[in-house]
Structure 1
Amino acid sequence: MRFVRYERNGALRLGALDGDGVVDLLDAAPLGTAPALLAAFADMTRLVASGAAGLRVAAQAAKQAPAAARTPLAKTRLQAPLAPSLILCSGENYWDHREEKPEVTRKDPEFFLKTGLGVIGPGDDILLDPAVTKKLDYETELLIVIGKPGRHIPAARAHQHIWGYTVMNDVTARDRQVMLRPDGSSVYNLGPGKNFDTCAPIGPALVSADEVPDPQSLRLRTTVNGELRQSNSTAKMIWTCAQLVEFFSTFVTLQPGVVISTGTPGGTAWGSDAELGGKKPMRKDVVTAGGYLRPGDEVVCEIEGIGRLVNRVVAG
């Protein structure tokens, strides 16, 4: 199933996508629904934590929803499908992205955090604040949503802990992230480079894992004003979704609603920026090697079977 959060009369509501409409879960809840599940139909993290029981009752609600519980999707103002307090992020997880930027030797996934204060939803504006950056970059990424708590989760059992997936644009301030030394080597400052207002567009929907038979075979693409900038497949990840769950659960107990970003492929504006060490623009017959984002740009992050996330850049 596909779940969204949307505005209705100034309040946030949870809905299930059904064709070209949104079914309000509370309005459509079957008679006799347990109080715990009713509470889950009002809070996305609780819905995720409710697991198979929540999905089963949500499916029943969507199937028998009365007309009054349905709203045309075109008339619905979607919000970010969930509001994580922070995002566990893995960088450098596609070979072509590694090759387009300054070399870093590592044997484990890159590990950094993004603040939930930067989360925005589909259709929201990405702010380009010149006090923060003059080199604003895009990164389409598959976002894992944890549904079952666990620590030291082996990759072979990671699927038991993954509730579903969504799309994230890991918006990045490259001139904050990358500092070049006089000798040509670079230092990464992922804190300021990855954390600022509107740095984490997410959405449009959370897709339950049962609709994604193989998360390692999804096409991924980014367009800016219709130009194809990134085009790859999750099959090209260095560390799979399951391996990333294993890695991050080594350090912290993963709880329902925790999200893990899985990295971006090559084709970023950084790859064409020699000033910051970019060294391998993508082949022009594959994508258009473009520059950094500017006010007025429309950024589309799309992952096959997951969704299409659209945001516009504005001066901030």
Structure 2
Amino acid sequence: MKLLRYGPAGQEKAGALDAQGRMRDLSLLVPDLTPEWLAPERLRALTAIDLQKLPLVDESVRIGVPVAGSRQFVAIGLNYRKHAEEAGMEIPKEPVIFTKAITSLSGPNDDIVLPDGAQEGDWEIELGLIIGTKAQKVPVEKALEHVAGYCLANDVSERNWQAKRGGQWSKGKSFDTFGPIGPWLVTTDEIPDPQVLEMELKVNGETRQKSTTADMIFPVAQIVSHLSQFMTLLPGDVIITGTPSGVGLGMKPQQFLKKGDVITLRMDQLGAQTQKVV
């Protein structure tokens, strides 16, 4: 099932995509797609709904973050071998962890707002996942049972703040609008293997990143298990899993985002995003 939230920021309603790819209004049945709705039994109940009987949603409406009320936004760095190499960093022996502010979450097609004085804005296409049930010290073979679904993500970064302002990556990752996710939360029954998804990111129509989740150093199950060893993962938590090579920082010469740039992203089964840089 493909779940979504639509409407003005702060006033989103629950929705779902029908078999023809049309948006349907779920709000009469589901007040909002909050963490409790990601529990397996509730997701099963949603799949039983006849979406054809629900009202259509205007295709021009804004799409929001696909889940409301997330409490943690966790990211994995250097999780594709070629990306680590282009960044001039060693291949990690364990997942590299950092966090993004919850306030950086934004809709998949919302504008990206560069902060005042931004020098090195950058793009990073990533596979995102959203936790469905609390995870504490789970083994790898059980880890995917705690995932409600997957989404497309752009880990927008400001490299000067990330690398040259005291070494705290979160500084360059947490500005408002630096966490577009969606358009949908695709439940795990539609994506039994998250390690076979192709992805592509373009800037102003030119391909910058093109890869597949098969190239991850640490696959999704290992990431979820690893995180759960030292932190409790809660329903609604967003985890993004690293980016392949092709970021602006790694280009020769380096290229960074500027006002007016348009970023387009797509990933198998997870839809597409378009963001304008302002």
Q: TM (normalized to structure 1)?
A: 0.82
Q: State how 1:48-67 maps to structure 2 within 5 Å.
A: 48-49=38-39, 51=40, 53-66=41-54
What's the CA shift for 1:26? 3.3
The residue aligned with 1:12 is 12
Q: Deviation digits for residues 72-101 of structure 1, max 9, x if unmatched?
A: 4x2322111124233111100000101101
Matching residue of 2:23: 22
SS at match of 1:191: helix
2:158 to 173, 198, 217: 173
Give the structure with the higher percent strand.
1
Conserved? CA contact 2:109–2:180, under 8 Å: no
Measured in 2, the distance between the counterparts of 1:9 and 1:234 equals: 31
Structure 1 segments, 4+ long, off by >4 Å, are none
Q: Does 1:94 align with 2:80?
A: yes
Structure 2: stretches of 5+ with no match in the other structure: none
Counterpart CA distance in 2 for 1:87 and 1:175 is: 21
CA RMSD of aligned residues (A): 2.1
Whether contact under 8 Å (2:65, 2:182) holds in the other structure is: yes
Identify unmatched segments of 5+ residues in structure 1: 30-37, 181-186, 275-289
In 2, distance between residues paired with 1:20 and 1:237?
Answer: 29
Q: How does 1:1-316 map to 2 (within 5 A)?
A: 1-7=1-7, 11-18=11-18, 19-27=20-28, 29=29, 38=30, 41-49=31-39, 51=40, 53-66=41-54, 69-72=55-58, 74-83=59-68, 84-104=70-90, 106-131=92-117, 133-179=118-164, 188-272=167-251, 291-314=255-278
- Deviation digits for residues 159-181 of structure 1, max 9, x if unmatched? 2111100011100011112239x
Q: Secondary structure at the match of 2:77?
A: coil
CA distance in 1, matches of 2:263, 2:274: 6
> Helix, strand or coil: the match of 2:130?
strand
CA distance in 2, matches of 1:264, 1:146: 20
Shift of 1:25: 1.6
Normalising by structure 2, we get a TM-score of: 0.92
Residue 308 of structure 1 aligns with an amino acid whose one-letter code is: A
CA deviation after TM superposition for structure 1 residue 193, in Å? 1.4
Q: Is the 8 A contact 1:23 1:62 kept in 2?
A: no
Q: Cα gap change, 1:106/1:116 in structure 2, threshold over 3 Å: closer, same or farther?
A: same
Q: Give distance in 2, aligned partners of 1:137 and 1:9.
A: 24
Name the CA shift for 1:234/1:266 in 2 (closer, same or farther; >3 Å): same
Once the 2 structures are TM-superposed, how far is the Cα of residue 213 of structure 1 from its aligned partner? 2.2
Partner-residue secondary structure (3-state), 1:204: coil
Task: State whether residues 15 and 25 of structure 2, in contact with CA within 8 Å, keep that contact through their aligned partners in structure 1.
Answer: yes
User: Deviation of residue 8 (structure 1)?
Assistant: 7.3
Within 2, Cα distance between the matches of 1:266 and 1:4?
29
Aligned to 1:46, the other structure's residue is in SS state helix
Q: What is the Cα deviation at residue 204 of structure 1?
A: 0.6
1-structure distance, mates of 2:242, 2:82: 11
